[in-house]
Structure 1
Amino acid sequence: MNGAWTQAGCRIRFDWGPVGADAVGPGAALVAVVDVLSFTTALTVAVERGIAVMPYRWRDDSAGRVAREHDAVLAVGREQVERPGQVSLSPDSILRSSGIERLVLPSPNGATISARLAEAGATVVGVSLRNADAAAASIVRRLGAGDAVAVVAAGERWPDGSLRPAVEDLWGAGALIEALVRRGAGDLSVEAGTALAAYRSVADDLATALRACASGRELHAHGFPEDVAVATRPVADPAVPVLTDGWFVADSPSF
């Protein structure tokens, strides 16, 4: 790995996608993964409801087997919902669910990056626009002197499988970085400063910007406008999901 790509020497680092996570994650005390539409929003909603979430790379036959082995519910794709109450990657479907204790949540972006980082030994925090401030408080609480935090925007995929930088993830990363700076965790890389500036450019009307961005328009066109609304809806007590022994669970003071 090219040393310049790691943003070493900066306390707050930022990059995109799985390869960006490989670059800025090593050496960081914590890695925040941001996938606003919709993995980390769905994740935050689930953990707010007391559901433990396993991030899974792909929605294939193995995902069903893993869910059965762990007595968990498998989230299906949004378009695969066949009955009322079935849970999918849609945050709104999780909000309306009941009786779930464990959820296997596949996603080619946020879940894949989270699992990849955990396999490399990183401490992973799930961050969305709903919980950015709470996540920053949690991260600052456990940062030691000289510790760094890496922020990874998951992004989306073009039809050919390549990374599509998704502006909502840039804003989510910037929201977290602003909250970190507010709490005194400064020393941003140029890349992290760019994410912060992007967030500040839309912060006064974030809900409108989210509806108007490409991913927001796509979800509206496919009949999931509520998933966009859930992503920016204020929460009285947002959860901070921390990946522990393969499952995202709510942060605790003893962590």
Structure 2
Amino acid sequence: MNTFFDQSPYEIKLEWGIRGAREAAKREEILIIVDVLSFSSTVIAALENEAVIYPFPPPINEKAKKYADQLGAELVVGRAEAIETGKHSLSPNSFTADDCGKSYVLCSLNGAACVEVAKKVPALLLGSLRNAQAVAEAALEMKKKIGKPITIIACGERWEKASADENELRPAIEDYLGAGAIISSLNGSLSPEVFVCKQAYQGSKHELSNLIRKCGSGRELAERGFAKDVDFCLQLNSSTIVPALSGNKFISFEPSNSLTLF
């Protein structure tokens, strides 16, 4: 078996996008999926308000609507549609205390797509800047219990109108820096890929907010009227909520419930 690209024999690894998530899932590793703007951050916001989130692969279509109907849940819509209808969207600020106990189906091109291909791993967590330290601590606890490496998946974005012979993945610095923030609270042997990511974060953290606001993804959201979403997602270590996939929904990780994830 070729082990060059699976970053063996390191305990902490880093991969990009859907393919990276799929490869880590084949190895049955502990996954932390990082989609800062904003799948990971939005699920954290929903769980902070005690909502129930069911991830579903993109696109938002009739199949997704049927799934939501089966669950008695609301299908989360695109930001533009949410403005017109008042429904929830990938905007983390669309979730409030009024959502306590309510169920939602959440699609996204990157975060939810990565969850879909990796949902059978021993443990799958969502990480962001908001919960970087908390998700690292949860992953280390799981690693101690089941003895598996930890792989951080920086989701990235997708190029629009990619040709058939092109890779759709567009690396995104917000996810790379979010991964670096998480890595900074992990211990264990680091692959070279992880080491460089950690150094990128540590060398940039004094300019973190400015960099992400001015990067492609941050500017796109701001120009569409969602600058407050970017501000929300930039709140480093402001949350102790760690979304953990349990069956077909995310629950808030607690040491007492960790055995239900394996």
TM-score > 0.5, shorter chain as reference: yes
The match for 1:27 is 27
Pair 177,45 (structure 1): closer, same or farther in 2 beyond 3 Å: same
One-letter amino acid matched to 2:173: V
Q: Once the 2 structures are TM-superposed, how far is the Cα of residue 51 of structure 1 from its aligned partner?
A: 1.4
| 2:171 is equivalent to residue 169 of structure 1 | no
Secondary structure at the residue paired with 1:86?
A: coil
One-letter amino acid matched to 1:252: E
Q: Once the 2 structures are TM-superposed, how far is the Cα of residue 85 of structure 1 from its aligned partner?
A: 4.0
Q: Once the 2 structures are TM-superposed, how far is the Cα of residue 79 of structure 1 from its aligned partner?
A: 1.3
The match for 1:157 is 158
Question: CA contact under 8 A between 2:32 and 2:150: conserved in structure 1?
Answer: yes
Percent pairwise identity = 34
The match for 1:6 is 6
One-letter amino acid matched to 1:138: A
Q: Once the 2 structures are TM-superposed, how far is the Cα of residue 31 of structure 1 from its aligned partner?
A: 0.3
> Which of 219-228 and 23-32 deviates more?
23-32
Secondary structure at the residue paired with 1:137?
A: helix
Question: CA contact under 8 A between 1:34 and 1:151: conserved in structure 2?
Answer: yes
Taking only aligned residues, the RMSD between alpha carbons, in angstroms, comes to 1.9
One-letter amino acid matched to 1:53: I
Runs of 4+ in 1 over 6 A off after TM superposition: none
The match for 2:47 is 47
Give the TM-score taking structure 2 as reference length.
Answer: 0.89
Secondary structure at the residue paired with 2:174?
A: helix
Secondary structure at the residue paired with 1:81?
A: helix
For 2:110 and 2:176, locate their aligned partners in 1 and report how far apart those are by CA, in whole Å: 14
Secondary structure at the residue paired with 1:53?
A: strand
Question: CA contact under 8 A between 1:15 and 1:21: conserved in structure 2?
Answer: yes
For 2:219 and 2:115, locate their aligned partners in 1 and report how far apart those are by CA, in whole Å: 26
For 2:238 and 2:219, locate their aligned partners in 1 and report how far apart those are by CA, in whole Å: 27
Q: Mind listing any 5+ residue stretches in structure 1 that lack a counterpart?
A: none
The match for 2:165 is none
Q: Mind listing any 5+ residue stretches in structure 2 that lack a counterpart?
A: 163-167
Give the TM-score taking structure 1 as reference length.
Answer: 0.91
The match for 1:66 is 67
> Which of 235-244 and 220-229 deviates more?
235-244
For 2:181 and 2:96, locate their aligned partners in 1 and report how far apart those are by CA, in whole Å: 23
Question: CA contact under 8 A between 2:179 and 2:197: conserved in structure 1?
Answer: yes
Correspondence 1:1-255 to 2 at 5 A: 2-58=2-58, 59-83=60-84, 85-95=86-96, 98-99=99-100, 101-118=102-119, 120-144=120-144, 146-161=147-162, 162-180=168-186, 185-233=187-235, 237-254=239-256, 255=258
Question: CA contact under 8 A between 1:30 and 1:150: conserved in structure 2?
Answer: yes
Q: Once the 2 structures are TM-superposed, how far is the Cα of residue 82 of structure 1 from its aligned partner?
A: 4.5
Q: Once the 2 structures are TM-superposed, how far is the Cα of residue 121 of structure 1 from its aligned partner?
A: 3.3
Secondary structure at the residue paired with 1:159?
A: coil
For 2:152 and 2:140, locate their aligned partners in 1 and report how far apart those are by CA, in whole Å: 13
Pair 204,251 (structure 1): closer, same or farther in 2 beyond 3 Å: same
For 1:93 and 1:158, locate their aligned partners in 2 and report how far apart those are by CA, in whole Å: 26
For 1:97 and 1:6, locate their aligned partners in 2 and report how far apart those are by CA, in whole Å: 44
For 1:105 and 1:94, locate their aligned partners in 2 and report how far apart those are by CA, in whole Å: 12
